[in-house]
Amino acid sequence: MDTLHGPAARRHEDPAEEDADSRPPWAQFLAWLECVCVVTFDLELGQAIELVYPHDAKLTEKEKTSICYLSFPDSYSGCLGDTQFSFRFRQSIGRKSSGFGEDAYNRDAPITLQRELGHFYGYVYFRQVKDVSVKRGYFQKSLVLVSRLPYVHLFHTLLQIIAPEYFDKLEPCLEAVCNEIDQWPSPVPGLTLNLPVMGVVLQVRIPSKTDKPGGSPAKQAPKEASGHIVLLNSLV
């Protein structure tokens, strides 16, 4: 049988690949996260955002200031090591949405898991270790996931995977992780999803308004996952 070439062949290409090609940059990433920030704490300069990824993420100066001041633990006690916590802050007036279908998602999601239209959530992994090379005497830095989604358990689990690697390998690691998240399927209420990142697959079901209390467990995602699977029983 003759091999097709040209327009006739293109009609037989995978529609999913065509959809992927037509997506705007970072479309799938923005379905989960607004951006990832690295906040550093300096004795002379104070809190400062060292890095925002993707680099074209549009945070206002007011939003950056909020992230800086809220990314340091409130209950700071001088303990060394790693700390995780989260915060919520107001989006700047007039900010446009990221383009994800908020209406469709919020229509089907439980009230407690609906996408915030006026606020962001910040999910923080803060590290403090002794460092004689800095005046404060400590290395103090936070890796922050910024999202409109109140998925506390999911994003803290994600931070436990990526933050230690980031502090070791820095920006190249962060870039790789963000590109992996940009391949994730969108969060759709009622579906169980496989979310691969750094050789681990986070398997999570997005709850729906129609879920019955005490109902049967969700079926596994139809697409098989490769890698170590971490089953998350809840998002919060």
Q: Where are the domains of the chain?
A: 22-186
Q: What does pTM read for this prediction?
A: 0.82
Q: Tell me, what's the pLDDT at 17?
A: 46
Summarize pLDDT for 56-102 with one digit per residue, the tens: 898 999 999 999 999 998 765 567 789 999 999 999 876 666 555 66
User: Is CATH 3.30.460.20 the right assignment for the domain spanning 22-186?
Assistant: no
> Tell me: the pLDDT tens digits for 183-200?
999 999 999 999 999 999
Q: Report the side by side order of strands in the sheet with 119-130.
A: 46-53, 35-42, 138-147, 119-130, 81-90
Q: 102-148 pLDDT, tens per residue?
A: 678 999 999 999 998 899 999 999 998 888 877 777 888 999 999 99
DSSP characters over 149-208: S--HHHHHHHHHHHHHHHHHH-HHHHHHHHHHHTTSPP--TT-EEEEEETTEEEEEE---
Percent of the chain at pLDDT > 70 equals: 77
- The H or E element spanning position 17 is helix 15-22
Task: Determine the average pLDDT of the residues in 9-30.
Answer: 60
Contact between 146 and 35 (Cβ < 8 Å): yes
Residue 122: per-residue pLDDT: 97
